[in-house]
């Protein structure tokens, strides 16, 4: 459910006053992740690495209050659930956007992820979840990347997690992740906490 709230009644009141009208309110943090565990689970269980990472993102974010708030068009909204947005390569050589509802059940999330992304790929139609706070993702696996900075625009205020190709060295698999967020939604400390939680989830999956 999506509900408009008074920013003054939230813990983001000060941030709303400071950053809502900022021409560049987005902040980007980058961190190198150890994804060895995720890679092994993907290989052993024949599960898509990207799907597993998206689930881990949802799992880490689901325990952080700020992820359920989002500024839009000068207003503040509160949500009661999350979704993960995936960019899908379609059969016509283009891309489509696909929102996958997050749930704690990995098997159910995998089923929804597979069904929705395959449908988007074959139909060339984007799907959206309007009543969930959507965390964007972008996997640019065609090259090695050290960092990604997305466009700064007031047309899209949702948090965004982006990554490139993972790197295998000896017995360890790593890759850098860029996390972009709106400063009204959360502060740097909240974002850093999310990245730490994401690493914990990845190592414990």
**Proportion of the chain in helix, strand, coil states, percent, rounded to 5:** 35, 30, 35
3-state SS record for 1-47 = CEEEECHHHCCCHHHHHHHCCCCCCEEEEEEEEECHHHHHHHHHHCC
Do residues 26 and 178 make contact, with C-beta atoms less than 8 angstroms apart? no
**154: confidence class by pLDDT, cuts 50, 70, 90:** low
pLDDT in tens, 136-150: 999 988 888 888 887
* Per-residue confidence (pLDDT) for residue 67, from 0 to 100: 98
Residue 156: its pLDDT value, please?
Answer: 80
Q: Is the pLDDT of residue 160 over 80?
A: yes
What's the average model confidence in pLDDT over 21-37?
Answer: 93
**Alpha helices, DSSP H, located in the chain:** 13-19, 36-45, 49-62, 106-123, 188-204
For residue range 43-55, list pLDDT tens digits in order: 999 999 999 999 9
d(CA 180, CA 175): 16
* % of the chain with per-residue pLDDT over 70: 98
Q: Give pLDDT, residue 167.
A: 92
**pLDDT for 155 beyond 80:** no
Between the alpha carbon of residue 28 and those of residues 22, 34, 116, the distances in Å are: 15, 19, 29
Q: Is the pLDDT of residue 185 over 90?
A: yes
pTM: 0.95
80 and 1 Cβ atoms separated by less than 8 Å: yes
Q: pLDDT at position 148, please? A: 81
Please report which confidence band the pLDDT of residue 24 belongs to, taking 50, 70 and 90 as the band edges. Answer: confident
Chain segment 48-82, per-residue pLDDT in tens: 999 999 999 999 999 999 999 999 989 999 999 99
Give the separation between CA 189 and CA 198, rounded to whole angstroms: 14
Average pLDDT, integer, range 25-39: 95
| Mean pLDDT across the chain | 94
Q: Which domains does the chain have, with CATH numbers?
A: 2-204 (3.30.559.10)
What distance in Å separates the CA atoms of residue 136 and residue 54, rounded to the nearest whole number? 10
Answer yes or no: is pLDDT of 117 > 90: yes
Phi, psi of 121 (to 5 degrees): -65, -45
Across residues 86-110, what is the average pLDDT? 96
């Amino acid at each position: 459910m999506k509900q408009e709230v008074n920013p003054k009644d939230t813990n983001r009141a000060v941030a709303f006053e400071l950053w809502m009208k900022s021409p560049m309110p987005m902040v980007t943090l980058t961190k190198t992740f150890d994804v060895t565990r995720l890679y092994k689970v993907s290989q052993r269980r024949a599960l898509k690495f990207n799907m597993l990472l998206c689930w881990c993102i949802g799992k880490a974010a689901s325990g952080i209050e700020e992820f359920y708030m989002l500024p839009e068009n000068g207003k503040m909204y509160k949500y009661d659930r999350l979704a993960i947005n995936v960019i899908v390569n379609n059969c016509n050589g283009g891309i489509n956007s696909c929102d996958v509802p997050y749930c704690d059940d990995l098997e159910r999330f995998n089923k929804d992820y597979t069904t929705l992304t395959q449908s988007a790929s074959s139909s060339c139609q984007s799907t959206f979840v309007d009543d969930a706070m959507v965390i964007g993702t972008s996997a640019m696996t065609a090259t090695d990347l050290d960092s990604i900075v997305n466009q700064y625009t007031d047309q899209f205020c949702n948090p965004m997690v982006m990554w490139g190709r993972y790197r295998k060295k000896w017995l360890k698999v790593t890759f850098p992740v860029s996390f972009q967020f709106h400063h009204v939604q959360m502060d740097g400390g909240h974002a850093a906490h999310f990245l730490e939680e994401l690493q914990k989830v990845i190592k414990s999956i």
